[in-house]
Amino acid sequence: MTFGVLGDLNWWAVLVAIIAYFALGGLWFSNLLFAKPWIRATGAEMAGGVNPGPSYYIGPLITCSVATVATAMLAHATGTDTFAEGLVLGIVVGLGISAAVLSVTGFFDPQKAHPMLWVAITAGYHLVGLTLVAVILALWT
């Protein structure tokens, strides 16, 4: 694989996958799902009236974009073009890379009040998000 594959990607599919991944994060880390246990796991408290700055949103949008493009490159290289293949690719990337890296980070981070809870919530988001990304990319190829 070379970076020349970037010219072969379906950029509409990549854009939709980025938006879906980022939107999932908004839901995942909201009060509807895991905001309270995730904040507890970090050991930090966020005041209800605090409005986070732009970097609070721009950083995750950039990382969702990078992970989505990388997953799109892998989908192209592996010929992933069915729902089932998208599921497999998403699980491989989500567990094999994101969850594995986050587990090491959580294990060695003495600043987190509940590091393994943080890993479970954060890695769970990336597992579901990257699986969603891979399925979108596979079906839109």
Higher-pLDDT residue of 38, 2: 38
Eight-state DSSP code of residue 32 = T
Per-residue pLDDT tens digits for 44-97 = 765 554 567 788 789 999 999 999 999 999 999 999 999 999 999 999 999 999
Cβ atoms of residues 130 and 98 within 8 Å: yes
Q: Quote the pTM value.
A: 0.90
What pLDDT, on a 0 to 100 scale, did the predictor assign at position 92?
Answer: 96
Give me the DSSP letters along 29-60. Answer: TSTTTTHHHHHHHHT----TT----THHHHHH
Q: Which residue has the higher pLDDT, 16 or 44?
A: 16
Q: For the chain, what is the radius of gyration of the CA atoms?
A: 16
pLDDT one-digit tens code per residue, 111-137: 888 989 999 999 999 999 999 999 999
3-state DSSP call for residue 50?
coil
CB 93 within 8 A of CB 71: yes
| Domain ranges across the chain | 3-43+52-139
CA distances from 116 to 88, 99, 108 (A): 25, 11, 10
Give pLDDT, residue 47.
Answer: 53
Return the pLDDT at 111. Answer: 84
Inter-residue contact 122 to 128 (CB < 8 Å): no
First to last CA, the chain: 18
